[in-house]
Amino acid sequence: MSFNHPNFGRLDENRIIVFDTTLRDGEQSPGFSMNLNEKIRMAEALTDLGVDVIEAGFAIASIGDFESVKTIAETVGQRADSPVLASLCRANAADILRSAEALLPAKRKRIHIVIATSDLHMKYKLRLEPEQVIEQSINSVKLARQHADDVEWSAEDATRSDMDFLARCVEAAIDAGATTINLPDTVGYAIPDDMEAMFRTIRNKVPNIDKAILSTHNHNDLGLGVANTLASLRGGARQIESTINGIGERAGNASLEEIVMAIRTRQDAMPYSNNIQTKQLLGLSRLLATVTGFDVQPNKAIVGRNAFAHESGIHQDGVLKMASTYEIMTPESVGWAKNSIVLGKHSGRAAFRDRLNTLGYKIGDNQLNDAFRRFKDLADRKKVVFDEDIVALVDDEVMRDHERIRFVSLDVRTGTKAQPSAELELEIDGVTKQAAAVGDGPVDATFKAIQKLFPHHATLQLFQIGAITEGTDAQARTTVRLEEDGKLVDGQGADTDTIVASARAYIHALNKLLVKRERTAPAAMAS
Ligand code: KIV
Ligand code: ZN
């Protein structure tokens, strides 16, 4: 690359900038929400992972969004190894000034402007003439450049735009000072050939194209997000926008871990480089699942429970003889531990901490004490403690230590002879409260007791129980989905006692609802 990028300098022509938008596009999707602490924790983990840019949020969207961009700028943004921190804006002064203000403390920052360029979006959504879109692009990029040297301009719905018009917009945005040009497949409509062709066309048509990095941003509506991202690289894109676990609007965004491992595994076909520490991918995926309450599906590439599991005898035999017969990458290279049977009741704190580190958790001493106490308790009840058990207990207890409603204890009576009843103790905003309730069954009684302690009008949409590992002493993993005013949240809980796991899941979902309540959706948020 011939030009000197304000944040990255002169880059090797095969160096890929990894732009993570889990905290913006990912968090924007229905049912997903993170509170401030969770966003900071994610931003720290993304920094350790080695991403180049973190899109921390959409500062004008709400006070909560502004605060989270600002706080990430004040914390992660002060680290010596801080990625570039970005905040999204529409192409208007209010959005840009709000982003600039939130990003002010960051050592390395980027203002990201989006405006639609397809006829459909310009006519029906923006109600702007094409010339007005060019004018707004120029004015907004110029304004943003007064607050940041690094400005990204995105053409929303680029893949359905007229290529001549798109090329004019790109040229104007670069002339105005944009240093990254992003051409998203906003609605997940394109196929890989389209992506490669679009980037080649824009590179051929735009005379000043060598003054900016080209970026690709793909949604997964046809399941092609990753394929489209890789095809864009062939066409000349050198920044990929993606999310952990592929979370995002509708069917999600292209998944970061899949793109990175495809490039790493197929260097013969894609000789690109990046800074991602791939061993941290699994830990980050789990952290995200914990804070959002959404697990990835078992067969999800790279980070799903079955991604490296070999069920058929023929495959197992092959893998034992030579792993590469059926494994195209090693499980360890993305963070899976070699042996999933870990500790027992005689294991000490050091071994426990070591195991947590291997599993991708970095926790402070207080949290370690809590986790260790719960681990000992579990080891007393359960013969063998697996990695999955440890992940569940850390996720369940320690990672939620900042939540407003916390589970303390539960006693249930049930059977065929008496009416099921529950006595529950919760800590709400630091105050311990008790309530008792009866119900149709022990779960119903428990949920009614929660309702007494924390009155709410959310309705239960889904209640699901599964076992984390095998055996009758396995921990139950429960999922509870609540709905309130059209907002959906999923909560998860784990315990060897199914009713306790159910209570924990319900409480987790309630806490997520509280986060949702504090936030207001912006009027016209880009996907
Ligand atoms: O999908 C999209 O077009 C976006 C833009 C804001 C980049 O998310
Ligand atoms: Zn998007």
Query: What sign has the CA pseudo-torsion 176, 180, 184, 190?
Result: positive
**Considering its fold, how many domains does the chain have in total?**
3
Q: Are 125 and 114 in contact (CB under 8 A)?
A: no
Q: Rounded to the nearest 5 degrees, what angle is found at the Cα of 182, between the Cα atoms of 18 and 280?
A: 15
Verify that 79 and 208 share a domain, yes or no. yes
Quick one: pLDDT at residue 526? 42
| CA 236 to centroid of ligand 1, rounded, Å | 19
| CA 218 to centroid of ligand 1, rounded, Å | 8
Q: From the alpha carbon of 157, which atom of ligand 1 is closest?
A: 3
Quick one: pLDDT at residue 352? 85
Tens digits of residue pLDDT in 420-479: 999 999 999 999 999 999 999 999 999 999 999 999 999 999 898 887 777 777 888 888
Identify the residue whose C-alpha is closest to ligand 1 atom 1: 186
Q: List 358's β-bridge partners, or say none.
A: none
Q: Distance between CA atoms of 40 and 77, rounded to whole angstroms?
A: 11
Verify that 430 and 383 share a domain, yes or no. no
Q: Distance between CA atoms of 458 and 445, rounded to whole angstroms?
A: 16
State the pLDDT confidence band at 311, using cuts at 50, 70 and 90.
low
Q: Full-prediction pTM beyond 0.85?
A: no
| Ligand 1, CB within 6 Å, residue ranges | 25, 88, 114, 154, 156, 182, 184, 186, 217, 219, 526-527
CA distances from 164 to 238, 368, 409 (A): 22, 58, 65
Mean pLDDT of 318-324: 81
Q: Which amino acid is at 262?
A: A
CA distances from 343 to 13, 306, 349, 358, 371 (A): 47, 22, 11, 13, 14
Quick one: pLDDT at residue 342? 57
Per residue, the 3-state secondary structure of 239-257, as one string, reads: EEEEEHHHCCCCCCECEHH
Decide: helix, strand or coil at residue 361. coil
Q: Which domain holds residue 474?
A: 405-517
Q: List 487's β-bridge partners, or say none.
A: 484
User: Does 10 map to a domain?
Assistant: no
Tens digits of residue pLDDT in 331-363: 999 998 765 555 777 788 888 888 887 776 777
User: Does 30 map to a domain?
Assistant: yes
Q: Are 18 and 256 in contact (CB under 8 A)?
A: yes
Quick one: pLDDT at residue 514? 86
Quick one: pLDDT at residue 398? 65
CATH number at residue 193: 3.20.20.70
Verify that 131 and 192 share a domain, yes or no. yes
Verify that 341 and 422 share a domain, yes or no. no
Verify that 157 and 207 share a domain, yes or no. yes
Per residue, the 3-state secondary structure of 105-163, as one string, reads: CCCCEEEEEEEECCHHHHHHHHCCCHHHHHHHHHHHHHHHHCCCCCEEEEEECHHHCCH
CATH number at residue 419: 3.30.160.270
Q: Distance between CA atoms of 451 and 60, rounded to whole angstroms?
A: 34
User: Does 313 map to a domain?
Assistant: no
Identify the residue whose C-alpha is closest to ligand 1 atom 6: 526
Of 384, 432, 390, nearest to 407 by C-alpha is: 432
